[in-house]
């Protein structure tokens, strides 16, 4: 369905890093973009200038079935991307009841709205590598057993399961993007990648003297958020719906991230980074790292930004932000 021959896409939770990168992509592709948020005024002020005043913001409660149904009926999107969710990271165990509702049940509400309004709408869910949790193999692919270890992962698994049910039972074009860690200058400061790049920039500018971190040997499969939302876009352009692991297939340690970030500024991280053992997170029994062969073979997707380029991008962005605000 289209409005004035212009295809419309609906992005729930548009104000996060993934939502903003996807909005930029869709606008460049000629879409009209509608984004849901809890607070329109605050969100509009916080949006990147690249999309501010170029998208339609609508208020939506993630637990109100009728609200999302009304939004779909009014704006008639041909595609829906869901980013409305509690974040991962340190908050994965906070408020399990709300996490279960927003990260799990909310997806079912969207699927039901699609089924009742227009079953031809294509849907993509931003899922997570936390589905694998206590993984029994590494790397993880679409056939790896799911063993979530947190309320966050369990809620994402419920949503993932409902997508498969609605795809099989009702024939919906619904996809699950099993996203491994993906970062950008728009990442929140509560995530270790941004904490490091922002901390290094503060030290360079004389705004801080040290940076306290947890386990420097912890490893993650880190990619660029812009690359990952492009994979989701490709999923909805494919002939058949499906689920795809989106990852780089390589892990880097927090120590490597520190070294690269500080090197970008001509600093030695060993002079400034201090280990805080109280900030340690449990070590995985099996390393979480993604096998994205299915996405590469079927969608023709592969990451364009490598780890070093990503770190440099984030450091430079934090230097600019902090310089402008001091």
Position 322 scores a pLDDT of: 97
Position 63 scores a pLDDT of: 85
Active site residue 150: no
Distance CA 115, CA 109 (A): 10
Active site residue 152: yes
Does the domain at residues 187-221+251-287+305-324 carry the CATH identifier 3.90.25.10?
Answer: yes
Position 282 scores a pLDDT of: 60
Position 87 scores a pLDDT of: 78
The structure's pTM equals 0.94
Position 3 scores a pLDDT of: 45
Residue boundaries of the structural domains of the chain: 2-182+223-246, 187-221+251-287+305-324
Active site residue 128: yes
- 2-182+223-246 and 187-221+251-287+305-324: identical CATH topology: no
**Which residues in 158-175 are b (16+ Cβ under 10 Å) and which e?**
bbbbbbeebbeeeebbbb
Position 95 scores a pLDDT of: 86
Position 281 scores a pLDDT of: 65
pLDDT by residue, tens only, the chain of 326 residues? 444 689 999 999 999 999 999 999 999 999 999 999 988 988 888 899 999 999 999 999 888 899 999 999 999 999 999 999 887 665 677 789 999 999 999 999 999 999 999 999 999 999 999 999 999 999 999 999 999 999 999 999 999 999 999 999 999 999 999 999 999 999 999 999 999 999 999 999 999 999 999 999 999 999 999 999 999 999 999 999 999 999 999 999 999 999 999 999 999 999 999 998 766 666 656 799 999 999 999 999 999 999 999 999 999 999 999 999 87
Q: Which fold has domain 2-182+223-246?
A: Rossmann fold (3.40.50)
**Considering 88, 128, 129, 176, which one is annotated as catalytic?**
128
Task: Report the candidate in 181, 92, 183, 178 with the shortest Cα–Cα distance to residue 127.
Answer: 178
């Amino acid at each position: 369905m289209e409005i004035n021959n212009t295809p419309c896409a609906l992005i729930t939770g548009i104000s996060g890093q993934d939502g903003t990168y996807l909005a930029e992509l869709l606008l460049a592709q000629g879409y009209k973009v509608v984004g849901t948020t809890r607070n329109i005024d605050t969100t509009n002020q916080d949006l990147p200038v690249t999309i501010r005043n170029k998208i339609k913001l609508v208020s939506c409660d993630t637990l109100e079935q009728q609200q999302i149904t009304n939004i779909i009926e009014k704006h008639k999107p041909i595609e829906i991307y869901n980013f409305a969710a509690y974040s991962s990271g340190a908050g994965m165990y906070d408020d399990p009841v709300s996490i279960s509702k927003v990260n799990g049940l909310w997806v079912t509400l969207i699927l039901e709205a699609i089924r009742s309004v227009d079953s031809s709408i294509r849907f993509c869910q931003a899922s997570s590598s936390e589905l694998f949790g206590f993984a029994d193999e590494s790397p993880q692919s679409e056939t790896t057993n799911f063993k979530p270890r947190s309320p966050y992962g369990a809620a994402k698994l419920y949503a993932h399961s409902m997508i498969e049910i609605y795809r099989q039972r009702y024939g919906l074009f619904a996809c699950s993007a099993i996203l491994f860690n993906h970062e950008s200058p728009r990442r929140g400061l509560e995530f270790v990648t941004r904490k490091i790049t922002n901390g290094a920039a503060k030290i360079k500018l004389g705004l801080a003297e040290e940076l306290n971190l947890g386990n420097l040997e912890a490893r993650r499969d880190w990619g660029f958020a812009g690359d990952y939302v492009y994979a989701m876009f490709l999923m909805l352009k494919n002939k058949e719906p499906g689920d795809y692991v989106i990852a780089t297939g390589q892990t880097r340690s927090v120590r490597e991230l520190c070294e690269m970030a500080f090197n970008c500024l001509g600093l030695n991280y060993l002079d400034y980074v201090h280990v805080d053992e109280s900030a340690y997170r449990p070590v995985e029994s099996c390393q979480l790292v993604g096998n994205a062969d299915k996405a590469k073979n079927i969608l023709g997707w592969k990451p364009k930004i490598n780890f070093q380029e990503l770190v440099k991008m984030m450091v430079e962005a934090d230097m600019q932000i902090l310089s402008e605000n001091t």
